[in-house]
Structure 1
Amino acid sequence: MAPRLGRTGPRRPWQSVHALLVLPIALIVVITVVDLRLPWHIHLGPTLVIAPALTPSFAGPRATAAIGALAVAAQILIGVHRGGVGTTNHIVQIITLAVLVVLTVLYSALRERRQAQLAQVRTVAEAAQHVLMWPLPEQIGPLRIASLYLAAEDEAQIGGDLYAATLSDGAVRLLIGDVRGKGLPAIGEAALLLGSFRESAHRRIPLAELASRLDQSVTRHAADLETPGEEGERFATALLVEIPDRDPVTRMTSCGHPPPLLLSPGHAVTVPSLHPSPPLGVHGGAEHTLDVFSFEPGDTLLLYTDGVVEARDERGRFYPLAERVARWTEDSPEALMHHLRRDLLAHAGGRLGDDAALIAVQRTAVERRRHHGRGDPARHG
């Protein structure tokens, strides 16, 4: 259970709105008082429209209407005090202010409706993200895990990059992949690959055979959905990783995916030499190679998609992932993801050109097998 916020905690949204409403009210009071004290030939009344015009930036249509009504009342008060509320000049000012207030309230209502629609989109995106990509547990057996997903499209939290993890006979199996395309159009292909992995990964089959099954699945899907002129355009890169609970090794099969980085204490970063096969869906029936590497306690394996290393700065330079992570080889997976998120977005100017996903897996010194999460995923197949 999350701890409750005390009285010194952050303000609720309605408290912030009420505090900000002081600004337009104070503005109306100041304009009114100053106008009443100025000579008769100087008029500040028309500037009262500033108050209702500011209000939609932080409040809804009701508050905007209230501020607008207060501004109109102040304009009438000024006219009465100057003894000319019935003159053509003051009548025009009052009517003009009232019309502008009505337009401002309508704008505020439309803006509030648009914000509600965007909030609904974000909610749907979050739900889809949890359905397609289940949150990875923080620890599986002797492994500590953290992940990061950055979608390229506005208002989207998922896209063509994907990752998943499952238990299989005393080992953890991980998938990270990238289907062709980005953002919402690529979600269908990502869902297919994730579903196929979850269905097959917990079975006692070698990693290379698992890659072949995923290849067949993507190939069948591409054949069903390809349109004329789109032949060979539906494919996905993928990296399959198997980490036994007790043996200090990691097994990998790459299907056209960028190789991971191995981070060791002492700021050492190495790139395992893989023998990749073509991407999934390109050549059905391609042979897949199993590569085995040492993975000792304290080491961290960093998996990523090409959206990370292809992120460019304003001068067109790619993100130097291996160089940057050398600073954080001794950090926890959670801290590493925090550093990478901040550093990557700073490099790209706050926005990526492609979806990006990362997984950090760190082997601990725990000898006995344990699992923290919602039970063993392998038993739900």
Structure 2
Amino acid sequence: MRAPLRSPSGPRADGHHQVLFVLAECVPFAIALLVLLVEFTPLHVLYTGPLLVATPALAAVTMGPKGTLAAAGVAVGVSVTTASYNGAWGSQQVYTNFLALFLVSVASFMTSRSARTRTENELNQVQRIATAAQEVLLRPVPARLGPVRAASMYLAAETGAQIGGDLYDVVQTRYGVRMIVGDVRGKGLPAVRAAAIVLGAFREAVHYEDDLMEVVDRCEAALLRDAAVSGAGGAEAVLEGFVTALVAQIPDGPHIDVINRGHPPPLLLCDGVVRLLTPTAPLPPLGLV
């Protein structure tokens, strides 16, 4: 299946988010390095204990349980090193700092682990819902429908996504085997909605319309009708989210009817030769009026 069209700014925005996330992960270790610089210079008169105590808490926000433990270990190592360098062992301030660092580290680790578990549970639930939605929207294609052997594979363009703006289905009808392959211009939930509308109209029309063009017209009418009832700006929404579609009918005879509404031409494989089935009369995508 074709990947949905992406905005040029999408990958760039994702890269910025990744850079900011990496910088946030470096903050606890940068603080530990700052403390070392202060303690090994004439600035060691400054009180740096609270800075080290804060490092596990900061790590818990962005780094998870393992990162929190790593930040806590670095903070303890810096505390031991600076206390030994300054000859501060035996003072109440050193032991107070260690106690505070221990308590904050334990609390940060428990909080981080709880947040990680909660996030994983939420992601698993979303994954189950997405899988159920995919099974309803994109039903498994039967291996055989009458004289036709069929197979399908779908990979969503969005990382971790189960469904997107692509659509397909194969149905056995009294007129023969009818199939559709399409792609919504756009992404996200609006694209999924448009795909569901087209598929719903197709699955209904294929059993009642003897003319394949009427099936395609029913799919487009459903798309336009949904835009009309969506309120102000509905027509514009259709223009921004048109659907390319390829509808085919395989009757009992030797001929195959194909209607292409702006979709990439299909490939015909016969006797080891691949041929591009270019439409004789190009038609616009569904909803592009």
Distance 1:121 1:271, change over 3 A: same
Q: Residue 249 of structure 1 is aligned with which of 239, 242, 255? A: 255
- SS of residue matched to 1:113: helix
What letter corresponds to residue 151 of structure 1 in structure 2? A
Report the Cα distance in structure 1 between the residues aligned to 2:254 and 2:124, rounded to whole angstroms: 46
- Among 242, 255, 258, the residue aligned to 1:235: 242
Q: Secondary structure at the match of 1:110?
A: helix
Output the amino acid matched with 2:248. Answer: V
Give the distance between the partners of 1:149 and 1:196, measured in 2 at CA: 21
Question: Where does residue 202 of structure 2 map in the other structure?
Answer: 197
The alpha-carbon distance between structure 1 residues 138 and 229, as it changes in their structure 2 partners (threshold 3 A), is closer
2:209, 2:215 within 8 Å by CA — same for their partners in 1? no
Q: 1:223 to 1:91 in 2, by over 3 A?
A: closer
Unpaired runs of 5+ in structure 2? 1-51, 77-88
Deviation at 1:187, TM superposition (A): 1.6
**Residues in 2 aligned to 1:248 and 1:56: alpha-carbon distance in whole angstroms:** 64
Aligned equivalents of 2:111, 2:118: Cα separation in 1: 11
Which secondary structure state, in structure 2, belongs to the residue aligned with residue 254 of structure 1?
strand
SS in 1 for 2:116: helix
Distance 2:178 2:90 in 1: 80
Compute the TM-score of the two structures, normalised by the length of structure 1.
0.48
Task: Provide the C-alpha distance between the structure 1 equivalents of 2:256 and 2:122, rounded to a whole number of angstroms.
Answer: 46
Q: Please report the RMSD computed on the Cα atoms of aligned residues, expressed in angstroms.
A: 3.4
Which of 276, 279, 296 is 2:282 aligned to? 276
Matched residue of 1:162: which SS? strand
Give distance in 2, aligned partners of 1:177 and 1:260.
Answer: 12
Where does the alignment leave 5 or more consecutive residues of structure 1 unmatched?
A: 1-45, 59-63, 73-83, 284-381
Q: CA deviation at 1:225?
A: 2.5
Q: CA deviation at 1:55?
A: 8.8
Instruction: Considering Cα pairs closer than 8 Å and 6+ residues apart, tell me whether 1 or 2 has the greater RCO.
Output: 1
| Percentage identity across paired residues of the two chains | 41
Partner letter of residue 200 of structure 1? A
Q: Which residue of 2 aligns with 1:188?
A: 193
Alpha-carbon spacing, 1:149–1:85, altered in 2? closer, same or farther (3 Å): farther
Among 96, 114, 120, the alignment partner of 1:115 is: 120
Report the alpha carbon displacement of residue 157 of structure 1 after superposing the two structures with TM: 1.3
In the other structure, the counterpart of 1:101 is 106
Which residue of structure 1 lines up, in the alignment, with residue 65 of structure 2? 56
1:125 shift after superposition:
1.0
